[in-house]
Amino acid sequence: MAIKAGKLRHRVKFQAPGLVQDPVTGEMLPGWTDFASVWASIEPLSAREFIAAQANQSEITARIVIRYRPGILPTMRILHRGKVYAIRGALPDADSGLEYITLPVSEGVSDG
């Protein structure tokens, strides 16, 4: 099943944990580095899915779908319109595993 380009209408930024340089002291500190900017579909969970997720002690609040891209890890975070989403998993498509990735995410996590 191919994903239609029209569904991927949100520009999101992936960030990976790493070291960033403090602009004042020059010291290398833990932080977030940009990994990629891609087009995505952001789908909030329906009320039924949200209730089921809470029953399973899950923090999943939305699902983000992107075209397949190697290197996406659950340790990364996603930025979109000032919101931070923590990646809770990466599910490849059922056909080839190389067309798109569905990312269950939780919103409002400050450090990913």
Helices (H) and strands (E) in the chain, counts: 1, 7
The string of pLDDT tens digits covering residues 48-75 is: 555 555 555 457 889 999 999 999 999 9
Full 3-state SS string of 14-54: EEEEEEEECCCCCCEEEEEEEEEEEEEEEEECCHHHHHHHH
Q: Which fold has domain 40-107?
A: Thrombin, subunit H (2.40.10)
**Domain ranges (residues) in the chain:** 40-107
- The type of residue at 1 is M
The predicted model scores a pTM of 0.79
The mean per-residue pLDDT over the stretch 31-52 comes to: 81
Q: pLDDT, tens digit, for every residue of 4-31? A: 667 888 999 999 999 999 899 999 999 9
Helix (H/G/I), strand (E/B), else coil: 87: strand
Lookup: tokens for 100: 């798109």
